[in-house]
Structure 1
Amino acid sequence: MSDETPGNATTPPRPLIGWRLLALFYDLWPALALWMLASLCFTLGYTIAGHHDPHENIAPLSGLQWLLWLTCWLLSGLYAVLSWRRGGQTLGMRPWRLVVAGANGNLPSWRALCVRYAVGTVSLLAAGLGFWWAWVDRDRLAWHDRASGTRMLRKPKP
C-alpha cells in the first residue's frame, strides 16, 4: 500500500495514519521533558512558599494541580505550534518527512495552528478517534486537519 495520492503527480504524497502515530510517539519525549521541567518548577515553588514538606506530593485535585496540568498542556502547545510555524515540522515529524501545510500548500496561520493543536488534543482524549477518522475520510484528513484547514503531507525522499 502506497501513501501517494493517485492521479495527481504534483501533489506531495499524503501520510498514512501510521506515520502520524510514529511522529506523535517521537514528540512525546520532548513534551515529557517540558512537563518534567514544569513539575519541578511547581514543586520547588510550592515548597519554597512553605506550603508543604518537599517529600509530600501536591494534594490531589488542588487548584495548583489543575494549574500544573494547564501549564503542561500550554507548554506542549507552544512546542507544537512554534515548530509547525517555524518549519512545518516538530522533532517527531522530521524522521518521517511529515510537514504541516495550509490547504493551499502555504504556511498555515497562527490561528489555524492553534485550532489544530486544540482539536488534536480532543482527538487524543477521545481515544484517538480523530486520528483514526483519517482511515475513513475521503481525503485522509484527521479531525484537526479538517477543523484547522491544514494538511499533513509527506515529503518525497531527497
Structure 2
Amino acid sequence: MCYEALLVLALLAATLLLPHLLVGAFLHRVAAPFTLWIQVFATLLVYFVWFWSAGRRTLAMKTWKIRIVASDGSDLRPAQALLRYLLCWPSFLLGGIGILWGFIDRDRQFLHDRLAGTRLIGER
C-alpha cells in the first residue's frame, strides 16, 4: 500500500496540483476545498476502477505480483471495481478498520473485499 500511495501521490500532483497552480498563477483564483476533494475522489475513482477492471493491474500490483479477482476467480467487471472503490473509503477513513479486518478474517480478506465479492491473489 505504501508503494501504491507514492504512485497515487504522483498522479494527484500531475492531475490536481499542477492545474490548480496554473489557474492560481494566471487567473489569481483558488479552488474551493470541496472542489479539490471532489477532484481527488474522481481522479482516484477513474484510476483504480480502470486498473482493477478486466484483469488490469496498477504498477504497484504488477511489482508485487498481486491481482484483484472476483470471488469466483474471474476478472472484475467495472461495476464490481466501482463497488470495491466505494467500499475502500470507509475502510481507510474509519481508522483503517477495514484493513485491520484482514487480521481476523478467516480468509485474510479486507472488509471491503469481503463486501464487494473480490479478493487479492498472488501470482507465481
- Which TM-score applies when normalising by structure 2? 0.87
| Unaligned residue ranges in structure 2 (runs of 5+) | none
Superposed structure 1 runs of 4+ greater than 4 Å apart: none
The residue that corresponds to 1:39 in the other structure is 17
The CA deviation at 1:86 is 4.5
Aligned to 1:19: none
5+ residue gaps, structure 1, are: 1-23, 52-57
Distance 1:48 1:30 in 2: 28
Give the SS at the match of 1:101. Answer: strand
The CA distance in 2 between the partners of 1:50 and 1:97, in whole Å, is: 45
Q: Equivalent residue for 1:29?
A: 6
- Paired residue total: 123
The one of the two structures with greater contact order (alpha-carbon pairs below 8 A, sep at least 6) is 1
Shift of 1:47: 3.8
Deviation for aligned residue 1:88: 3.9
2:24 and 2:78 map into 1 onto residues whose CA distance is 34
Indicate the residue corresponding to 1:141 in structure 2.
109
The 1-side partners of 2:103 and 2:28 are apart by 52
Q: In 1, distance between residues paired with 2:112 and 2:56?
A: 15
Percent sequence identity is 28
Choose between structure 1 and 2: higher helix proportion: 2
In the TM superposition, what are the counterparts of 1:1-158 in structure 2 within 5 Å?
A: 24-37=1-14, 38-51=16-29, 58=30, 64-156=32-124
Shift of 1:77: 2.1
Shift in Å, 1:27 = 1.1
Q: In angstroms, what is the RMSD of aligned CA positions?
A: 1.7
Shift of 1:127: 1.8
Normalised by the size of structure 1, how large is the TM-score?
Answer: 0.70
